[in-house]
Homo-oligomer: A and B are copies of this chain.
């Protein structure tokens, strides 16, 4: 999927919502626990209920790996379910991988070839040759960590050389590794005051923005500072949607939460003249 196709979906759905499938077994409704694959069943019902309000889903791989081989099968089944039933949806494996070249190629195979994910999140610390193996997968995306939503982002990401902070250096250097059709950047919603600086360096790239909802970031600020002429934003909410309710009605409550965010997003898209 290229940037134009992604923007078309955003316009069609009046939404730039990404729903994070951080589907922790201990948090899903007890009524599902007796089935064969409770996490898949949870995901399936969340996806069926929310897909009209979202343009992307983002399973965080940790929540599957912690269940071992069973969890991998659940992850594969979830990605496959989305792509089979809702092929326009953009699927992000939130894995934060990155290793030396021959090893990153193996991670690319795991997530972008064996599974039909559209994108993989990647950590930048090891530099260019840890990232480029992912970029050679046709029609696939790298989403590089730039400025994360957690407190620990302050430890290294603001480290500054000659006035350029590390997260700006990551942008400045990496924007030449790929292009706006195969690279995005992770910018935490809790860092919305930085989005203006980030847009100076990458005006045309999409940003994946986690941290609204449970982590407290503001959708309004993110949209005001970060939106460009092709939206340029995928804003993620995980726990605030998928764990909004713990009863048998969890899916309709999740749909209502997703619809609320979509409605707010529609307002910002209108204000910007994009729909």
Contact = CB atoms under 8 A, between A and B. Distances in A.
A84 interface: no
Interface residues of A, number: 54
B126 A150 contact: yes
Interface string A163-184: 0001001100100000000000
Contacts of A161: 159-161
Given A127-B153, A127-B156, A104 B169 contact: no
Nearest to A131: B152
A62 B110 contact: yes
Given A66-B106, A96-B97, A96-B123, A156 B170 contact: yes
Contact of A76 (B68, B97, B125): B68
A50 B239 CA distance: 47
Contact of A101 (B73, B99, B150): B150
A22 interface: yes
- Copies of this chain, complex-wide, total 2
A89 interface: no
A76 B69 contact: yes
A126 B110 contact: no
A24 interface: yes
A34 interface: no
Contacts of A166: 156, 159, 166
Interface in A172-198: 173
A179 to B, nearest CB: 18
A176 B23 CA distance: 33
A69 B72 contact: yes
9 contacts: A62-B99, A62-B103, A66-B109, A125-B157, A126-B145, A127-B150, A156-B170, A156-B173, A159-B161
Given A22-B103, A68-B114, 19 more contacts: A24-B106, A62-B110, A65-B72, A65-B107, A66-B109, A66-B114, A68-B72, A96-B99, A96-B123, A98-B123, A101-B150, A126-B153, A127-B152, A128-B151, A129-B152, A130-B150, A155-B173, A156-B169, A159-B166
